[in-house]
Each structure stands twice: as C-alpha cells, then as structure tokens.
Structure 1
Amino acid sequence: MGHVSPEYEHDAADEPRPAARAVAVTSATPHRRKALTGFLVLVLVVVLMGLGIWQVQRLGWKTDLIARVEERVAAPVVEAPAPPGWPDLNAREDEYRRVTVTGAYLPESEALVKAVTEYGAGFWVMSPLSTPEGWTVWINRGFVPQERSAEPNRPLPARQQQITGLLRMSQPGGAFLRGNDPAADRWFSRDTGALALSRDIGEVAPYFIDAARNDESELPIGGLTVVRFRNPHLGYALTWFALAAGLAIASFILLRREWRR
C-alpha cells in the first residue's frame, strides 16, 4: 500500500457524529425561534406605544380645539367677514365665531338640507341673505321636522333683517357615503358654493351662519348648533399603553422561562 501524505491524514474521531450534528441543529433552532419571537414582540410593543403617543397628541389637539371654540362662543359679537376677508378664513381660526350681518333674504331660493337633531329627523332651512354692500351669505335659519318640511310655514321677512349667529365654514361634497345631488335638489351637507350655483345666485361667502335660537313655537327652530366635542383620546391612549405594558411583561416572563430550559 502506498504512503499517505500527512496533510491528508485525519482521525475519524475528529469527524462530528451524525447524532451530534442533529443535536446541535435541534438546539440551535429553538434559540432562533425564541429570538424571532422576542423581536416580533418588541416590534408590536413599539407599535402599541406609538399608537398611545399618537392619541396623546390627539388629546392635546382636541383640548386646544375645545378651548378655542368655547372662547369664540363666549366672545362679543363681531361683523360677519366681508369679501376682502374671505381668502383668509379657515375652520381652525374662525369657525364658531359669533357674528352678525344685516340684509334681506332672497325670495324663492330656499334649500332644505338633511339633518338629525334633538327634535328628530328633518331638514335645515337654508336661505341666502343679500347685504346692502352687495354680497350674499347663506343663513341656516333653523330646523324643520321632516313631516312638516312641505308646509308653506316659513315665510321670509320682506324687510331687512339683522341676523346673529355662529359662523360655520362651508361643507362641500355631502355627508359620509351620501353625496349632494344638486340636480335632484337633495342635500346632505351645507355646501354654500354648490347651493348658490343650484339657485343661480352667483358668488357667496365661503361660510354660512347658524342663526341664533328663536321662539320654538315657530318654524324653523334656530340655535341648534352643537358645540360639544367628544374627547375620548385620554382613554384611548391609556388603553394602548396598557396593552403595550401587558404584552411586554407577559412576553418577558414567558421568554425568560423558555430561555432557562
């Protein structure tokens, strides 16, 4: 038999036995599985914490909104914005201001917009008001029940009126899943521009005025603007943080037990 070079010599005992290799692979697999589980739990905890932080930010925004609206509602009445000020109007700074305007209602231009109030289902009665300065603004004169919406019981005053109420920004498009249908004269939101176009009025203010409360024995019933805002964000934030903490603690306990095996 020929001589075997030393570099090609090896002891069979140095080769890993098949059983040893199987044990090594088997022991490594659970460790990888545990590491992956721990990583996924960490990602989920971070996501839950992020949702909690987002709700805290929403809480700050909603609290600030409520404070600003309450301040505006309690503030002295000011003149309704005229055309030069229209480009600067926005909901954040101007909605729910108490304003007043003087003018005469335009005849035969009334529009009914679907509404649900404390009095039940019915319509907002929207009427355009023409001011002495020559510009027009829609007035939400109030609510009329659905069963009485066809009654000719809403005569417009012939003389000029001074209207006081809350400034509301236009609501284009319609309600959720219910778009306005000007051709059929079906309205689900108070879209001042579309209402004006359907009545051939021309340019109008980019806002309307919710008229103040009147005698409830008369229709339409004014002063039904809801100036209350739900603010559940603190509860939502605590829920997300609690879920994150609970998941982190439970996962830590379970994974620690697994690693000790």
Structure 2
Amino acid sequence: MARRRFLSFLFLLLAAVSFAGFMSLGVWQVKRLAWKEDLIDRVEARVHADPVAVPANWPRVSEDTHEYLHVRVSGEYRADAVSLVAAATEAGQGYWVMAPLQLAGGRWLYINQGFVPQTERKAAQAGAFTPEGVVTVTGLLRMSHPGGGVLRDNVPAENRWYSRDVQAMAARQGIAPVAPFFVDAARSGETLPIGGLTVIQFRNNHLVYAITWFALALGMVLAAVLVVRHR
C-alpha cells in the first residue's frame, strides 16, 4: 500500500510539473501567434505601399523592420560582376541574376534583376541582360541569405551560388562597401530577366501548436484526476 501511495505521489508530481510546462509552452505559442500576425500585416502594408528610397543607415536595417519594403533606387550596374544563383521558380529551373549597382555616393547595392532559364546562363553571366548607364530600379528589399541552399553550400571560389549571399559575392568581386541586403526588382515587361517573382509566404502554425500544448496540459489534469479517484 505504501509503495502504491509513493508511486501515485510521484505521478501526481510529474503531472503537475508537466501541466505547468505545457501551459507555459501554450501561452508562448499564443504570443508567437500575435507576433506573426502583426508581422504579416506589416509586410502586407510595406509591399503595397508607394516605393520609398532605400534606407541609407544600413546597420539599422533588419528583417523585422524592413524585409519586403517597397523601394526605389538609382545607380549604375557593373555588368562584369554578375553572380548567378540557382533558382526554382514558377517559371522553371534557372538562375537569379544578381548584379551590383553602384550608388551615387560610391556604395554598392545588389539587385536581383530577376530570373533567367538555364539556357541563358552564359549570356546572363556575360552581362547580356544587365544594362549600361544610370538606371532606376523599383522592387522589394530583401535581407542577404548567407551560407547556401538546402544541402548545398555556396562555392565563392568557383562562382557557384545557391543562396543570395551578397556579402560573399561582393568579397569575391572586390566590391565594398556593400549593403547587407538586396532588392528584388519588379517585373519590367516580358523580357528577360523576369522580375517580380518574389514569394511572400510565412509559416504560421502557432495556433495549432498552442492547441496541442493546451490539450496535453488538459490530458495531464485528466490523468491526475483518474489517479486520485482510483486512490
């Protein structure tokens, strides 16, 4: 009998600790849900707002405050420093054309000119799709994507890219200073590169996670009630 009481006490103690933990996780997911919904609302507002100048204070640019900001910028491309990033889009398999744009003050900003199919790789690498002279680009501000793609690392020494890591691209080309972000250019007619293919999608499973944690907490309560009734 004493052993049974001791085991029941241990289970009730475990149930109490688990209940507190599951409730804490559920509350945290509810807070995350509110944060994610607010982020989505802010991004929607940025995307559909009139274009503004690219932020000049680069250290203050962050994902939370500037990602997908609708911007406009002017400068001159350096066509011999184009980097191609492997891409899979609604238009098929191919490459993003990442071209450095020199701004009026001498600083650099990478522009994702858009998508080209694999058949146009050599032409894009040679700068065939990167115009000369002063241009004005409108698009969405995106943060740099360092490291590489899924299961594939960037190889700067061979100019092979699987993510849009603008700092690494600039270092390979000897370009500095460069912005820690880039601009996805908007679509401009039906010519290559194809712009305006930015995918704006946020995973928002926080409500499901919150319900799961609260359900587990309720399960611990029910289990504890059954143990007490049995005793």
TM-score (norm 1): 0.81
| Matched ranges for 1:182-221 at <5 A | 182-215=156-189, 217-221=190-194
| Matched ranges for 1:12-91 at <5 A | 27-82=1-56, 85-91=57-63
CA distance in 2, matches of 1:176, 1:54: 29
The reply to whether residue 245 of structure 1 matches residue 213 of structure 2 is no
CA distance in 2, matches of 1:122, 1:205: 25
The reply to whether residue 144 of structure 1 matches residue 123 of structure 2 is no
The reply to whether residue 168 of structure 1 matches residue 142 of structure 2 is yes
Q: Which amino acid aligns with 2:119?
A: R
Aligned pair partner of 1:232 in 189, 205, 218:
205
Highest CA radius of gyration, 1 or 2?
A: 1
Deviates more, 1:93-102 or 1:152-161: 152-161
CA distance in 1, matches of 2:104, 2:222: 70
CA distance in 1, matches of 2:92, 2:203: 21
> What is the CA deviation profile of residues 142-189 of structure 1, one whole-angstrom value per residue up to 9, with x for unaligned ones?
1223x3242426432123211000111222223354332211222122
Instruction: Return the offset for 1:111.
Output: 0.5
Q: Which amino acid aligns with 2:106?
A: G
* Counterpart secondary structure, 1:206: strand
Structure 1 residue ranges without an equivalent (≥5): 1-26
The answer to whether the 8 Å contact 1:173/1:191 transfers is yes
Structure 2 residue ranges without an equivalent (≥5): none
**Aligned match of 1:16:** none
The answer to whether the 8 Å contact 1:115/1:123 transfers is yes
The reply to whether residue 114 of structure 1 matches residue 80 of structure 2 is no
Deviates more, 1:173-182 or 1:243-252: 173-182
CA distance in 2, matches of 1:149, 1:38: 67
> What is the CA deviation profile of residues 174-231 of structure 1, one whole-angstrom value per residue up to 9, with x for unaligned ones?
335433221122212212111111112222122111000123x422211111122121
Paired positions, count: 228
**Aligned match of 2:196:** 223
* Counterpart secondary structure, 1:113: strand
TM-score (norm 2): 0.90
* Counterpart secondary structure, 1:69: helix
> What is the CA deviation profile of residues 224-260 of structure 1, one whole-angstrom value per residue up to 9, with x for unaligned ones?
111221212112111211122123213312x03431x
Q: Which amino acid aligns with 1:180?
A: N
**Aligned match of 1:127:** 99
Q: Which amino acid aligns with 1:182?
A: P
CA distance in 1, matches of 2:200, 2:131: 28
